[in-house]
Copies of this chain bind each other. A is one copy, B any other.
Amino acid sequence: MSDAPTDAPTDPPREAPDDVSPHVPTDAPADPPREASLDVIQRELTAFARRARAAAARVHPEIPLVSYTLLSHIEDRRGCRATDLAAHYLLDKSTVSRQLAGLEKLGLVERRPAPEDHRVQVLHPTEAGLAVLATAQANRRAAYQERLKDWSGEDLDRFAGYLLRYNAAGPDGLPDPD
């Protein structure tokens, strides 16, 4: 995404969630409020990304962190290749290679050369890998539940829908390969 949040973090939740009129958006000239919303979205998304990053390091002391993301994808797409991961996450091959090396050393993934194509490595989570994922997943879920406990089901639903829609535009506004 060419709109990466990388700035304008000034201070996210400074103006309470009210200054974003929940209803009078398309009434007036329609353009000013639109821009205001865009700015808020940009700023908040940025703030989120920045904090997420910082927090990430604190949350998974057990596993080298980003490897975790990859492990998760490996579980989801059993038997995927390193190249798939790189393409999916917009990472360099070398980065993935090293992350996988780490995961293997930790005994969380197995990589076996594919029988059909000897260049390719087929990736699978190990028992340990699955266990780690399960635990972390549970922790995360609990954290989100706590953070969003005051939200109505309807709000959660809509928020989820918006996020899905936002992300659906793909990594760079592109159709999202993969």
A108 within 8 A of B: no
Q: In chain B, what residue has the closest Cβ to A47?
A: B167
Instruction: Judge whether B25 and A156 touch: CB under 8 Å.
Output: yes
Contact of A38 among B30, B42, B144 (CB under 8 A): B144
Interface string of A33-72 (1 = CB under 8 A from B): 1101111111011111111111110111000011011011
Q: Which of A13, A55, A68, A162 has the most CB of B within 10 A?
A: A162
Q: Are A147 and B1 in contact (CB under 8 A)?
A: yes
Those of A124-165 within 8 Å (CB) of chain B:
133, 136-137, 140-141, 143-148, 151-165
Q: Check B54–A89 contact: CB distance below 8 A.
A: yes
Chain B residue nearest to A133 in the complex (CB): B7
Subset of 18 A-B contacts with CB under 8 Å: A2-B58, A2-B143, A3-B143, A4-B58, A6-B66, A7-B136, A9-B72, A10-B76, A11-B88, A12-B164, A21-B157, A26-B154, A38-B145, A40-B160, A41-B144, A42-B141, A48-B48, A155-B162
Q: List 6 tightest A-B contacts by C-beta distance, closest first.
A: A4-B55, A3-B143, A44-B163, A13-B168, A37-B156, A10-B76
